Each structure stands twice: as C-alpha cells, then as structure tokens.
Amino acid sequence: MAIGRLDNEVFFKKVFTDKIVFKAFVKDIVGIDIDPNKIETEKSFQPKLGNIAFKYDIFAEDVKRRIVIEIQKVEYDHNFDRFLHYHLQAITEQQRTSEDYSVERTVYTIVMMTAPYKINSKTHEIYKDEVLISNINPKNLKGVERKFFNHELIYLNPNYKNQNTPDNYRDWLELIYESIHNADNPQINLKNEGVKRATEIVSFKNITDEEHEQAKIEAGKRRVIKLERDEEKEKTQMNIAKNAILEGIDYQIIAKITKLTIEQIEELRNEI
C-alpha cells in the first residue's frame, strides 16, 4: 500500500488530527490516555506572551491535560532552543495573572524530527538519538530528582535506529521513516491499531486530488527554502575563504574548512 510522505505538512496534519490516531500516538509515546475536546492546527495564544509569535502545528488539550505536538520537517541547529520556547510557552500561558502562579495542566511537547541532526552549534557535537526526553524537575545535591512537575519535552528522530528503542516508540518512528524512504511499500507494524489507521488515512487511495495538490505546493515551498538556505550558506563560505586567503592560510586548510574546491579558492584569489 503506497502512502503519503509524513515529512510533508499536509499529510502529517491529515494523519495526526485524526482523533483515534492522535490518542493512540500519545498513549504510546507519553503513556497516558487522553480525550481531547478538539485537535487544532496552527494554534496560537491570544493575547500572545512575549515578542515571539508562537504557532503550534498540532495542538490539543482535554480537561485534565494539555498535549502539544509539533513537527519539524527540516533540521537546523536552533531547533532545540526553538522547541524549548514552545514547550515553556504552553506552560506559562496558563498563568495569566501575577496573583496566581499555578499551572493546572501538564504539558507534553512531542517533536517529530524528519531529517538527521546536524552538528550542534553550541557543543559542536552531533546527536544520534532516536528518543530524547527532557523534564524540568529539580535535583538535590545527591542527584535525586524531586518530581514536582510532570511536564515533558520529547524529541523523536527515526533516522538513528536503535535496537534498544521500545516498541511503543519504534512503531511510530518506523511509520515516519518508511513513509519518507519507502513510501511505495512501507514496512510497518500494522498490528498497532493506531499505526494501521494512520496508514489507511494517508494511503494514496484516501488522499484527495486537492490534498495531492496542496502537498505538491508544500514540497515546492520546501525546495525553494532549501535553495535559499544553500545560497546563503555558499555566500558565507565564500566570505570565509576570502578572509582566509587574505590571511595567507594554506589552500588545503581553506578547502577543508569551507568545503570549497581548490579551483574555487584560486578563482577567489584572482578576484581579490
């Protein structure tokens, strides 16, 4: 059964705004049963908090809990900071007056990464984790965690398969990965009822002509953005190379740093 790529926003939202899929996904990833009143897309809070225009791709809450799901289709170094802001925004938004600092609802932010991580600009490390979970509970000096809060920020990335990843994560990670890399014949666990329904929803036979067209437009936008980013990156590399040439740095070193060819570096030297 051929399915739509879930790194495309149109198909991702079609799948995860389905209430059955949403509930099954949250149950497997977070381990709780929820009954959302509604599932929203492009959710923003009014009036907004701070100077950042937060907008959640997929947002849902029930009477007792708040669940936030966000997808990042392209991996950039700032994503961890970005979604920390999103996560904290969903917590602090609940407290609108200075007289009451209580946070009545637990916030779970689930971020599905669909591209490999790049080198972290702060630590200069590359992360290869399928699942990363962060909470905000304090620890004492002996390292004992005090569970004051249940809020969790969860990053999922199917590009780093780990044999020790539990099945409750594995089924959904494979759904995402297979939809991108093996969409014509995805190898996924259809015994998982949530995954099975997700597959049926996004199968080509159940995708309308309008949704196909929207998906093409979305894919086109992504290609344009990538080209713009690539052009900007090339300009930066060229500027670094020019400065390095002026400093008399060896061409081999410049090529290694900037990923430019020796021929490109010689052309730059002639221009200078």
Residue 252 forms part of a structural domain: yes
Residues 198 and 229 in one domain: no
Checking if the pLDDT of 204 tops 70, the result is yes
CA 175 to the chain's CA centroid: 15
Residues 171 and 244 in one domain: no
**Token pair of 80 as six digits:** 């961890």
**Token pair of 228 as six digits:** 């713009």
Residues 52 and 93 in one domain: yes
Q: pLDDT band at residue 97, thresholds of 50, 70 and 90?
A: low
Burial bucket for residue 41 (CB in 10 Å: 0-12, 13-18, 19+): middle
Instruction: Note the pLDDT tens digit of each residue in 154-165.
Output: 999 999 999 899
User: What per-residue confidence (pLDDT) applies to 222?
Assistant: 66
Strands (E) located in the chain:
38-43, 56-61, 65-72, 106-113, 131-135, 152-156
**Among residues 21, 56, 32, which one has the least CA distance to residue 171?**
21
Instruction: Note the pLDDT tens digit of each residue in 141-200.
Output: 999 999 988 899 999 999 999 989 999 999 999 999 999 999 999 999 999 999 999 999
User: What per-residue confidence (pLDDT) applies to 247?
Assistant: 81
Residue 218 forms part of a structural domain: no
**Count of domains for the chain:** 2
Amino acid at 221: K
Residues 123 and 245 in one domain: no
Q: Cβ contacts of residue 114 below 8 Å, gap of 6+?
A: 6, 7, 71, 72, 73, 74, 75, 158, 176, 180
Checking if the pLDDT of 249 tops 70, the result is yes
Q: How far is CA 55 from CA 24, 71, 97, 168, in A?
A: 24, 11, 22, 28
Per the CB < 8 A criterion, the answer to whether 24 and 193 are in contact is: yes
pTM flag (> 0.85): no
User: What per-residue confidence (pLDDT) applies to 226?
Assistant: 62
Q: pLDDT band at residue 240, thresholds of 50, 70 and 90?
A: confident
Domain range spanning residue 170?
9-207
Rounded Cα distance, 5 and 199, in Å: 11
**Cα angle 175-181-187, degrees, rounded to a multiple of 5:** 45
Residue 213 forms part of a structural domain: no
Residues 27 and 128 in one domain: yes
User: What per-residue confidence (pLDDT) applies to 187?
Assistant: 94
206-225 burial string, b = 16+ CB within 10 Å, else e?
Answer: ebeeebeebbeebeeeeeee
Instruction: Note the pLDDT tens digit of each residue in 215-231.
Output: 888 777 666 666 666 66
CB atoms < 10 A from the CB of 83, how many?
A: 21
Rounded Cα distance, 83 and 151, in Å: 14
Checking if the pLDDT of 106 tops 80, the result is yes
Residues 163 and 267 in one domain: no
Residues 203 and 112 in one domain: yes
Instruction: Note the pLDDT tens digit of each residue in 71-83.
Output: 665 555 556 878 8
